[in-house]
Amino acid sequence: MSQRQSFCVIGGGLAGMTSALILARNGHDVTLVEKSGCLGLTVRGFTRQGTYFDTGLHYTGGLGQNGIVSRYLRYLGVNGLTVASFKEDGFDEIRFADIGKTVHLPIGFERMRAALCKEFPGEEACITRYMEAARTALDEFSLFDQLFSQQGKSRSGASESLAAFLAKNTENIYLRAVLSIHSLLHGASPDETAFTQHAYVAASYFDSVHNFSGGGRSIINAMERRLEEEGVVVVLGKGVARLQGDGRRLSHVELDDGSHIPTDAAICTTSPPALAAMGKDVFRPAYTEHLLGLEETCSANMLFGIAEKRPACLDGRNLFLCRDANLNRAFAHGSNPEDGPFFISSSPQPDGREENVGIVVVAPGFFADFAAWENTTKTTRPESYKEYKALIMHRIRDSVVAMCPELASVRFVAAATPLTMRDYLRAPRGGLYGIKHSIRQINPMPITRISNLFLAGQSIIAPGLVGTMISAFLACGLLLGNTKLHEEAACS
């Protein structure tokens, strides 16, 4: 596409910012629209009592020198970011309280295979098959053409679930739990997640694990600078009320203040329910119904605490605390949030200090538990909500400390519930990772029946930094040429 055109990108998260930069870098006029008052709201984190908390980016794969995220950032011109490494001998620590067992996951496919074989003697065949299949899935994930092909296979039901893959290879429930543990980081249970989809997420950690030294805020700030340098027009505090066109092509985007943005094409990175609302005038009823019927990923309760010094158990690694081998508690309403499992991380401080460090605890959380206050907002929640929230958080804190006494001195200063997630993530039921990637439903593709409307974001390809950036490159590739864009990014 050589002619200069005007594009509108809807949604100012990582997928939206990436899409806007790609299009602007290729010589087009771009307007980026974000409903909230700032870009990258869920990733930039927040500061409380002088301590920074990383809310949406605890670690990621793909940030090695030749990793896919590193190549994408170089292509986008996002420079000057430093990365923090994790412990090579165990970037994740998994504790099973019922049997007193601790498992460390080292960085690198072969090192992890060897460590798990040592930890689970007699399970070498299962572990080897898992690691080989995960590595193959990761390799395919980074290739645009193969990704489209693989999506078609998984959507047709050809891909078995993670639970089914493990069940046919091992009877050891603790090994199954270890190999499924990263289901907690994409929000769908092992029995409803395609093995390949799980591998996209998990294997990116196996290959390399980093975070940005300044946390999620640093990448958001860096991308904001690049948007300004590329001349992207950023509209904050205004949502998209409706997409307008003739049912075949968009002509313009109408904002909720009544203003209009004419566009030659648009990329929408918002949630499918939000897309359904804004597209009611251009979508067929069946497509709108499909978007509204998609199931979200799990929600969560979150605790935010301050440690006077970074705990040794969180120095260069994250923690998974499990009462036993049953991970399904995180996905099944009716479970007690204090029974876990829990994901715990420490936040890198922008000034590099190791004192007064932010500790983030992610615990199971279910929107139905807070249904009595569903029609309230963060400024109108009654005392009954606050009391119930305090009770749940107290129970979670006690359970976490019982399983990890090293965290007893952490002073918890804030908390969030599924209602908080709903308000900040704009997910109707507080889903952490957008729409669930499940073998039981068909998620939207990057292309739509509207010829100049494309989709990106966590709900399209995969959750997390890697998934959102790949979705943005795919959507932009449909406008600019996938082969050209892929080759340029691969050479960065």
Share of the chain above pLDDT 90, in %: 81
The helix/strand/coil state of 403 is helix
Taking residues 362-369, what's their average pLDDT? Answer: 96
Tell me if 285 sits within 8 A of 276, measured CB to CB: no
Q: What pLDDT was estimated at residue 183? A: 96
Give the length of the chain: 492
Tell me if 8 sits within 8 A of 453, measured CB to CB: no
Distance CA 284, CA 268 (A): 17
Which are the contacts of 233, defined by CB distance < 8 A and separation ≥ 6?
Answer: 29, 30, 31, 32
For the purposes of burial, counting CB atoms within 10 Å of the CB of 186, is it exposed (0-12), middle (13-18) or buried (19 or more)?
Answer: buried
Distance CA 365, CA 302 (A): 8
Angstrom CA distances, 475 to 6, 117, 143, 270, 470, stand at: 16, 40, 14, 13, 9
> What are the tokens at 215?
């946390």
Angstrom CA distances, 369 to 189, 293, 319, 333, 389, stand at: 19, 21, 26, 8, 10
Q: What pLDDT was estimated at residue 185? A: 92
> What are the tokens at 282?
């251009």
pLDDT digits (tens, 9 = 90+) for 104-127: 999 999 999 999 999 999 999 999
pTM of the model: 0.94
Q: What pLDDT was estimated at residue 142? A: 59
Give the confidence band of 143 by pLDDT, cuts at 50, 70, 90. low
Tell me if 446 sits within 8 A of 454, measured CB to CB: yes
User: Which domains, and CATH codes, for the chain?
Assistant: 6-44+62-82+213-294+437-490 (3.50.50.60), 111-208 (1.10.405), 298-432 (no CATH)
For the purposes of burial, counting CB atoms within 10 Å of the CB of 385, is it exposed (0-12), middle (13-18) or buried (19 or more)?
Answer: middle
Tell me if 403 sits within 8 A of 95, measured CB to CB: yes
More confident residue, 157 or 168: 168
Q: What pLDDT was estimated at residue 179? A: 97
Backbone Cα Rg of the chain: 22
Q: What pLDDT was estimated at residue 151? A: 42
**Is pLDDT of 401 > 60?**
yes
pLDDT digits (tens, 9 = 90+) for 426-458: 899 999 999 999 999 999 999 999 999 999 999
**Alpha carbon of residue 171 to chain centroid:** 30
Distance CA 105, CA 114 (A): 10
Tell me which residue of 216, 215, 217, 209 sits closest to 93, measured CA to CA: 209
Distance CA 11, CA 436 (A): 19
pLDDT digits (tens, 9 = 90+) for 44-95: 999 999 999 999 888 998 888 888 899 999 999 999 899 999 999 999 999 9
pLDDT digits (tens, 9 = 90+) for 276-288: 999 999 999 999 9
Distance CA 471, CA 432 (A): 18
Which are the contacts of 112, defined by CB distance < 8 A and separation ≥ 6?
Answer: 105, 106, 131, 206
Q: What pLDDT was estimated at residue 485? A: 83
